[in-house]
Every structure is written in structure tokens, then in C-alpha cells.
Amino acid sequence: MFESPAEALKYIADHDIAMVDLKVVGIAGQWLHITIPARNFTQEHFDEGVRYDGSSGAGFGKVESGDVAALPEPETAFIDPFWEHPTISFLCGTVTADTKQPLAADPRTIACRAVAYMRASGSADEAWMGPEFEFHVFDRVEVLNEPYYTSVRIQSSEVESDGTTAPISLKRGYMRVPPAEHLHDLRSEICMTLDTMGIAVCYHHHEVGAPGQCEIEIDLDTLVRVADRTMLIKYVIKNLARRHGKLATFMPKPVFGEAGNGMHVHQKLEKGGKPIFYDEREKNYANLSDTALHYVAGLLRHGAALTGLTNPSTNSFKRLVEGYEAPVNLFFSLANRSAAIRVPRYAISPKDKRIEYRPPDFTGNIYLTLAGMLMAGLDGIQTKLNPADHNFGPFDVNLARQDEAFKSRITPLPRSLYEAMDALAQDHDFLLKGEVFSEAFIDAWVATKRADETDEIATRPHPYEYQLYLDT
């Protein structure tokens, strides 16, 4: 929004801004914020930042000192539409409290380092990416998790008819129209709000999931900027849902037996202002260039390890199962939605040629997810990996209908968070190139996920276990 701190300060003074909100991203991927009265906000805040305890909510204390500062970025400013008093928000990088150097563990800094490494390597100048936003909007969610009382109650008017409209049947929500679908106006309001904030939406629609599953799609943008926009889009969706008395969630698998929420990420590279994923000679599959095929092979070669960043929750692997258009194997194909990488059939021009990596979901930190995928793809380019040499395809077939001999040659994605963290622990050298990620960061990430999520959930009785074993 602004090119300099001076321009930002002038806008604040000229537009009766009451509050300045600084937003930082924690390691787990959540936004945290601190608010300063606008009359006290000065150039010093841009120079020195605002000190905060990075160990309390952001998680930086697990890998570095907890004494950090939020340093606002003028170009990321937006008028926050959800506060009663006029408020301008800045996204912030996290820096050390004393030297003001970028914190090595700050996710946004890691994403910036990945882009810098890409440019320094000579592989490309820009990485363009575009997540698809799949989410559920429920009328109400009640969760009880006590030793003697465990329950989840989800209410959705789209599957619980009030007698005036028919409910949407299981997995029959795709592109439904009113009156069966109830969320069109909410999605339109989300899109119009994003438009006022400079984010153009390509389209929105009801997704496959009957109980309020939605999709919003945006254009591709450069890596760090699209990560910033992803955080903002989630923020808008959740807050507007709340205004309507509903709850929006990006949880990968909120309802058993229904479609889950993925985060398919469209990707392409540019060099010298020209797209480099397109092969005009038509010698390669789907007009993909050699560079694109190497990038694809890198993503698939490190796909198991990437799930430790792109799918870092136990719930992630309840989505990555067969039968729900979710990928479970590492191969690529043209327009095949069961593939880990889909080459969109409609992206036929040099400018539009891209690949779509389908395993990720929104439990990952968007900055780490995008940085990790870029580093895997760059590793494929640098080592000139060929997908066919590793049996990554292309396979234009339905794998579920192939014989066991064929299936046995396909590399599967991890089936649990345990497996994903093991894969990341064993295969992360590609992330350490250019000091984009650090060994300490990966170690802390794996240890935290194992202890705080995997182990905690593994030791808790599940309600279905009572149905199976109560009469033992």
C-alpha cells in the first residue's frame, strides 16, 4: 500500500486513523497482533520495531531467543475492516530485539530467503504461486474434550433441513445453487471485501462437501506476496463468517465421510521476465519444458518430506485417503485429480503454463509451505531430475483400477504425521541450501509436532474406540 514509512505516516495523519495494528506470523502459521494508538506511532516503530515475547505465542523460543521485535513493512498495509475504530494494519517481519537482524526462524523471513536463494542460484527470477482456498462454514461447532466427556457437535443448515428446502446429500455439494446452498451471499461479501483490499477473486462456488464447503480462487502472485495475501484472505473469511453468526474452518477433514479441505498450490517460474515452464517445441508431456519437468521431479522426490511442512497435523492424513479426490501417491498427470501434481488442461499458453501441487492443506504455515515446495523444485532443477527415472509418471490412469504390480511401483505419500515427520527428519538437506532453513529449525519443528500433536493425540481414547471395544 505504501512505498515508504514517511508515506504511511502521512496517510495515518491525514485520514484520522485511530489505531495501528501490527501483525506477525508465528511458527505454527497463526497471526498474532499488537495495537498502538495512532498518535503514538512514529518513524521509530519502522526503524526499531515493537518488542514482544516471541516464546509465548509465536513459538520462537523453541529455536531462538524469545526476545524479538515486530518490524512493520510499509508495502503490506491495509485498512482493517473488522474494528470499530479506524485501524490500519501492517504485516511485520520478526527481528532480533537487539541487532534488528531478521530472525532466522521467522517464517516470513524463511520465505524471503527462499526467493533470494532461487535468484542467486540463477534458476529463476520469480516464483509465482496461487493457493486454492477450500474451507467449511458451519452454523455452530461445540467441542468438549474432558476425561469423562468427549464430544463434537457440528451444525450445518445445509444438511439439517428446516423443512423449507431439501438438504444437500453426502458429497453432493459441488456448485450447488440456492435454495439448497445457503452461503452464496457470504462468499460474495468475502470477495467484495477482498476486492476493496486489492485482492481480486477469480471465482467462488460451493464445493463438494455437503455441510457448507466452499472454494475461493485467486490469481497467482509472487511467493512472499501471495503468502501475505493468504493470511489476509483467511482472516477476512473467518471474521466475515463470525459476523454472520457462523464459524469458518480450514481444517483438512472436519467431517468423517465428507470431502476435506486441501490447499492445491498452482506454481510457475519466470526468468528474465519470461515463463520457463512452457515448451513450444511440443517434445515433452503437456508442453512442459525440461525445467518444469525437473521442478516436478524435485517436488515428487521430496514429496514425503514436504508433508512434514505442508500437512503437519494428524487431521491432515484423514483427508489424504482414497476416494475423495485427494492424492495418496506421488506421481504427476494431465488433469488427473488423483495425482499429487496435476497439469491443468486449460493452462495452454506460455504465460499460463503451470503445475498444481495437490497434497498441502492449511494446517501448514503458508510461508514454510511455499518456501519448502520452491526449495524441492529448485533441487530438482539443479540436479536435473527426470520424473520417469523415479517412476513419477506421467500416469493418465485411475490408480485405484490398476493391478498390484503397477501400484507397487508408485511411491506413496506418508499415511500419518509420524511418517511425515520421520520423512522430514531423514530428508531435509534440500531445505538447508542457501541457509534458507536451518538444522535447528527443522529439529525443533519435528520435535514439537511429535510431542505436542502426534503423541498427545495418540494417547487419547477416541469415541469410535468406545463403539468398538466398550463391551470387551
For 375-415, how does the pLDDT look when each residue is reduced to its tens digit (9 = 90+)? 999 999 999 999 999 999 999 877 777 888 888 889 999 99
Co-location of 69 and 156 in the same domain: no
CA separation for the pair 195, 336 (Å, rounded): 32
Co-location of 321 and 208 in the same domain: yes
CA separation for the pair 192, 394 (Å, rounded): 39
Q: Which cell numbers in the block locate residue 387?
A: 520424473
Q: Is residue 391 part of a domain?
A: yes
pLDDT tens, residue by residue, 32-50? 999 999 999 999 999 999 9
Confidence of residue 66 (pLDDT cuts 50, 70, 90): low
Q: Do residues 259 and 136 lie in contact, with contact meaning Cβ atoms separated by under 8 Å?
A: no
In terms of Cβ atoms closer than 10 Å to its own Cβ (0-12, 13-18, 19+), residue 48 is middle
Q: Is residue 208 part of a domain?
A: yes
- DSSP bridge partners of 267: 129, 355
pLDDT higher than threshold 90 for residue 422: yes
Co-location of 90 and 124 in the same domain: no
Co-location of 154 and 57 in the same domain: no
Number of domains in the chain: 2
The per-residue pLDDT for 61 is 66
Q: What is the CATH number of the domain that holds 46?
A: 3.10.20.70
Co-location of 222 and 144 in the same domain: yes
The per-residue pLDDT for 57 is 66
pLDDT tens, residue by residue, 245-300? 999 999 999 999 999 999 999 999 999 999 999 998 778 999 999 999 999 999 99
Co-location of 367 and 455 in the same domain: yes
Q: Is residue 237 part of a domain?
A: yes
> What's the residue count for the chain?
472
The per-residue pLDDT for 351 is 94
- DSSP bridge partners of 191: none
Q: 335 vs 461, which has greater pLDDT?
A: 461
Q: What is the mean pLDDT of the chain?
A: 93
Co-location of 134 and 97 in the same domain: no
Which one-letter DSSP state was computed for residue 281? T
- DSSP bridge partners of 128: 222, 268
Q: Is residue 114 part of a domain?
A: no
Residues 6+ apart with CB under 8 A from 257: 170
Q: Is residue 113 part of a domain?
A: no
CA separation for the pair 196, 182 (Å, rounded): 24
Number of DSSP helices (H) and strands (E) in the chain, helices first: 15, 18
The per-residue pLDDT for 55 is 76
Co-location of 62 and 152 in the same domain: no
Which one-letter DSSP state was computed for residue 141? E
Mind telling me the catalytic residues? 53, 132, 134, 207, 215, 264, 337, 356, 358
- Where a domain ends, among 45, 68, 103? 103
Domain coverage including residue 329: 119-469
The per-residue pLDDT for 63 is 58
Co-location of 72 and 145 in the same domain: no
CA separation for the pair 310, 413 (Å, rounded): 12
Residue-wise DSSP of 183-250: -HHHHHHHHHHHHHTT--EEEEEE-S-TTTEEEEEE--EEHHHHHHHHHHHHHHHHHHHHHTT-EEE-
Co-location of 275 and 356 in the same domain: yes
The per-residue pLDDT for 230 is 98
pLDDT higher than threshold 70 for residue 64: no
Q: What is the CATH number of the domain that holds 343?
A: 3.30.590.10
Co-location of 212 and 299 in the same domain: yes
Q: Is residue 184 part of a domain?
A: yes
Q: Is residue 34 part of a domain?
A: yes
- Where a domain ends, among 70, 103, 136? 103
- Where a domain ends, among 78, 103, 128? 103
pLDDT higher than threshold 90 for residue 363: yes
Q: Is residue 112 part of a domain?
A: no
Q: What is the dihedral of CA 161, 162, 165, 170, to 10 degrees?
A: -10
- Report, as an integer, the average pLDDT of 307-311: 98
Q: Do residues 167 and 210 lie in contact, with contact meaning Cβ atoms separated by under 8 Å?
A: yes
The per-residue pLDDT for 35 is 97
Co-location of 240 and 355 in the same domain: yes
CA distances from 286 to 77, 277, 336, 386 (A): 40, 10, 12, 15
SS3 (DSSP) at 56: coil
The per-residue pLDDT for 451 is 86
